[in-house]
Amino acid sequence: MKFINTPFDGVILIEPDVFRDERGFFLETFHAAKYHEGGVDARFVQDNHSRSARGTIRGLHAQRRHPQGKLVRALTGSIFDVVVDIRRGSPNYLRWLSFELSGDNFRQLYIPPGYAHGLCVTSDFAELEYKCTDFYDPHDELRIAWNDPQIGVHCRRRIATHRGSRRRSTCCP
Of 111, 47, 109, 101, nearest to 75 by C-alpha is: 101
35, 110, 115, 130: which one is catalytic?
A: 130
Distance CA 59, CA 62 (A): 8
35, 49, 61, 117: which one is catalytic?
A: 61
Please give the torsion angle defined by the CA atoms of residues 73, 75, 80 and 81, in that order, rounded to the nearest 10 degrees: -20
Active site residue 130: yes
Of 80, 35, 83, nearest to 60 by C-alpha is: 83
Q: Which residues are the active-site residues?
A: 61, 130
